[in-house]
Each structure stands twice: as structure tokens, then as C-alpha cells.
Amino acid sequence: MAELFVNQAKQYAETRPTSAGIYKKVTGTDTSLKQLEFAPKLPNVSYHHTAPAMSRSELEQTVSAQSSVDLVTIAQAMLDSVLNQFYYIDSEPFWEPQLKLIDDKYRSIDFPFETVEGADHTGPFKFVAEKLMDLDEYLVYLRSWSAYQTAKTKGVELLRDDRIESFKRAWNEDEHDQKAVKFPVYLRIGKVGNA
């Protein structure tokens, strides 16, 4: 799936929020070198290019040794903004099948871990990140979707002029240039054995 984000890697990075600032040490991975090129450069974050599928030994060698990590998150944020109640872009035919895991909030993945202290299940747990955007930034965000890029390569324009005009009208109704775009993120949280 990494190739889906090559053309819009910069826009993708610019329009997503990051929570790396709340952790002392963060290791980020991606299968796309282009995505890593535009990832935020922060003093507490190191990035590693990884293969789409890796054995446990490859993961330990490339990213981190076994039992050396306190928290692992695998997340993909899906759109939930003030505008999604007004407009639905028919992008579903252009999403990769693997993204169904996100729609399922990761419930269907094999997750053989124990609950952490204070929790009675391993999730999914939801939190919401927000980023203020003006309409131009929001449209850049929509164009950074892999589904948008896939549709475009097939000759389908998901953001036609009439749709952009509708966005403009809705965006300007409250006379505020910026809107809070919400990114719900679903996590599965667990621990190995009695760790």
C-alpha cells in the first residue's frame, strides 16, 4: 500500500496531526520512503523504513528488540469532520481492501495480548486528534487520501468543481475560516503475559 501515498506524501504529512510531543522516545515506521521523507522531524522521534510484511526477527532487528517497547500503536485515522454530515464523497470503490480493518476498528485482527492494568478489555479504544484547517488545507487533505489518488489514476475526479463549490458554501456558513477537523483513532491495547 505504500505506493498509494508516494504522489501526495508531502500533503499527507502536512494535514495529519501528531501526538509524538507527549512521549519521551518515539519510533515511527512506514513502508514508504516518501512518507518518511516528509514525516515531522522531532528530536524524540526516530524513523525506520520497513517492509510491508516482516518476520519477528526482522522486526526486532529493524525496529526494536523484544521486550524493549512500552507501547505499540498501529493506527490509521479516518475522516470525521464538521463537513461529513453535509457531504459524502463516494470514495469507497477506490479504497484498498486492507482498510476494512480500520472500518472494523481492528476488532477482527488476531490480538493475543492480556488487558493492561485498569482496563477490562483490549479495545478498541477511541481517541480523537484535531487539527484546525481552512478550506484549502482541507481539500489538500482530501486529495491526500489514497482513494482519491486511486480514483484519479482511473480517470475519476472525486472532487469535481460542483462538489468544491458545495464545500465552499457549507464552509462559509458560520463565517469562520478555520474548522476543527477530527481524526478518530482506534487502538487495541494489551500486554505480553505478566509484563
Residues 127-141 as b/e (b if ≥16 CB within 10 A, e otherwise) read eeeebebebebbbbb
Q: What is the 3-state secondary structure (H, E, C) of 124-178?
A: CEEEEEEEEECHHHHHHHHHCCHHHHHHHHCCCCCCCHHHHHHHHHHHCCCCCCC
Q: How sure is the predictor about 15, in pLDDT bands with cuts at 50, 70 and 90?
A: low
pLDDT > 70? residue 1: no
Mean of pLDDT over the chain: 77
pLDDT > 60? residue 35: yes
The pLDDT value given to residue 82: 34
The pLDDT value given to residue 154: 93
The pLDDT value given to residue 147: 84
- Write the pLDDT tens digit of every residue in 47-91: 888 877 777 788 778 888 777 776 666 555 433 333 443 345 677
Query: Which residues, in sequence order, are CB contacts of 32 under 8 Å at separation 6+?
Result: 2, 3, 5, 6, 9
- The mean pLDDT value for 144-155 works out to 88
pLDDT > 90 in the chain, percent: 5
- The mean pLDDT value for 159-187 works out to 85
pLDDT > 90? residue 33: no
Are 173 and 184 contacting, i.e. CB atoms less than 8 angstroms apart?
no
pLDDT > 60? residue 187: yes
Q: Give the domain ranges of the chain.
A: 2-187
The domain 2-187 having CATH identifier 3.40.50.970: the answer here is no
Maximum C-alpha span of the chain: 57
